[in-house]
């Protein structure tokens, strides 16, 4: 699979990342480094422990990495989750907020798996 095909598969912004990183080799290098990032794992662990402050930090980190690599398909739900968690850093969520967090986490998890799978095909 080419880098461009990978970006198509993950709903990424190939033109944006090429404009920023200049070469496919660099894009591939940084995409492969994404596979070693533990932000998504930390996010899931923090949510399971109901540590919303740590979950916010992990979601924010994941969102930032996705922005830098133009992983738009993953960045969008990660951004939405980050903003929801920002409001929960110092309080317990209501039942409605907790359901929204879980629904967004499912979206993040699904898109994360798609992204990782596509990168592994590079």
Q: What is the pLDDT of residue 91?
A: 83
Q: What is the pLDDT of residue 116?
A: 98
Could you report the per-residue pLDDT of 111-120, keeping only the tens digit for each?
999 999 999 9
Supply the DSSP string of the chain, one letter for each residue: --HHHHHHHTT--HHHHHHHH-SHHHHHHHHHHHTT--HHHHHHHHHHTT-HHHHHHHHHHHHHHHHHHT-HHHHHHHHHHHHHHHTTTTSPPPHHHHHHHHHHHHHHHHHHHHHHHHHHT-
Q: What is the pLDDT of residue 63?
A: 98
Residue 101 has pLDDT above 90, yes or no: yes
Q: What is the pLDDT of residue 87?
A: 87
Can you tell me the mean pLDDT for 60-84? 98
Q: What is the pLDDT of residue 79?
A: 98
Could you report the per-residue pLDDT of 15-54, keeping only the tens digit for each?
999 999 999 999 999 999 999 999 999 999 999 999 999 9
Can you tell me the mean pLDDT for 102-112? 98
Q: What is the pLDDT of residue 73?
A: 98
CATH of domain 3-120: 1.20.120
């Amino acid at each position: 699979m080419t880098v461009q095909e990978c970006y198509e598969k993950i709903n990424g912004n190939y033109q944006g990342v090429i404009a920023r990183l200049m070469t496919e080799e660099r894009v591939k290098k940084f995409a492969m480094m994404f596979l070693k990032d533990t932000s998504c794992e930390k996010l899931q662990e923090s949510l399971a422990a109901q540590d919303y402050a740590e979950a916010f930090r992990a979601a924010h980190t994941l969102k930032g990495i996705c922005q830098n690599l133009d992983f738009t398909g993953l960045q969008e739900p990660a951004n939405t989750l980050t903003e929801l968690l920002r409001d929960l850093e110092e309080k317990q969520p209501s039942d409605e907020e907790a359901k929204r967090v879980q629904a967004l986490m499912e979206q993040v998890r699904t898109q994360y798996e798609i992204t990782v799978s596509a990168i592994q095909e590079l």
